[in-house]
Structure 1
Amino acid sequence: MSAEDAVIDLDVYRDGSVGPTTGRARRTVRSRIVLGLVAALVAGAVLGGWGVDRSREARARQERDATVALVAIPASADSGSTNAGGRALIEGSLAVVNAGPAPITVRSVRVESPTVLVHDLGRTRLIRPGGTGWIGVVVLSQCGETPGTEPLSVRFSVQTADGQVREAHYPVALVGSAWLDTLSRMCEPR
């Protein structure tokens, strides 16, 4: 092979058939490549948008399932007794409203204040969103000590829809409640 055969002169027009790299065929190949790239870009954008949307939905679902929003009110004082030490003990119930977007399970209820102790009876209660659960409690108070006008800070142990156990605090007013009325009657001198 001579050196002339190995060199291509770009200034010389070569007569020959039109191949895929020249003329109309070249434009067709180029337009197909561009069309393929545009299709891949559009498909990527659609799939990416769908993925971001799914991710947002999952994050919102996780936040919703982890939310604890509740309202608690002393509901009733069923029975009571006093002992020789001047302590009044009543069994009653606490109405708990689930104000959150997902069901919760109330595992325990506890109040520890200087004048009043409250704890649940050891039963869990599943409460649906917007529903009310009645939690059985024991209320213990020392006769002669005024409970005060400040609300009690009730500590709840709650299992949320995502399976996690969380603590929630809610202030419960004792003044004007059935609990305080019963405690006052029990502690009156006879």
Structure 2
Amino acid sequence: MHRGKRQRIVPSLTEYLLNIWLDPSTTSNSIEGLYRSASRHNVFKLEFTVDDIRNFLSHQSTYKRHLGFNLQYKQQKHTVVPGALVKWQMDLADMQNSAEYNDGTNYLLTIIDVFSKYALVIPLQNKQGQTIARALGYIFRIKINNKAYKPMILLSDNGKEFIAKEVKQLSIFQYTEHRGILMP
């Protein structure tokens, strides 16, 4: 039996960074954080740069999924609303990329009361007009203190799902004015 000195196996840079990235004791939730943690724990004397870290993280699905968006919008004028249940804004959030993790939910119908900022979210399988009308009908049947929970004005973009015949009919039946906003 050979009782010599044990050889230390040097991992590849990807393996090393993956071990640091997955270690909950390190603060490696950003490019800079992973670079600091990897530099601090670098017992194998591996050489790497911030660009190596950026390249490694660009291949990690969890990093890409939680990466923020840097979008800038023009500030809009203030909306004056006299009270709750006067004006609601609605839109669809596209969740098709994560539908397999969310029981097949492809879209989220999001509705916000402009006055109170109270939000409602309804998961949807598709974005057909009939599905949108069914979700709105469900919301309009809600009663709070024996009062129907529905707006006087319902705003949305001019998507086919919102200007569908079923949604228009429901708005008329519920005495709710539905306005499509022209989006640039």
Structure 2-normalised TM-score? 0.27
Higher strand proportion: 1
Structure 1-normalised TM-score? 0.27
Structure whose CA Rg is larger = 1
Structure number with higher relative contact order (C-alpha < 8 Å, ≥ 6 residues apart)? 1
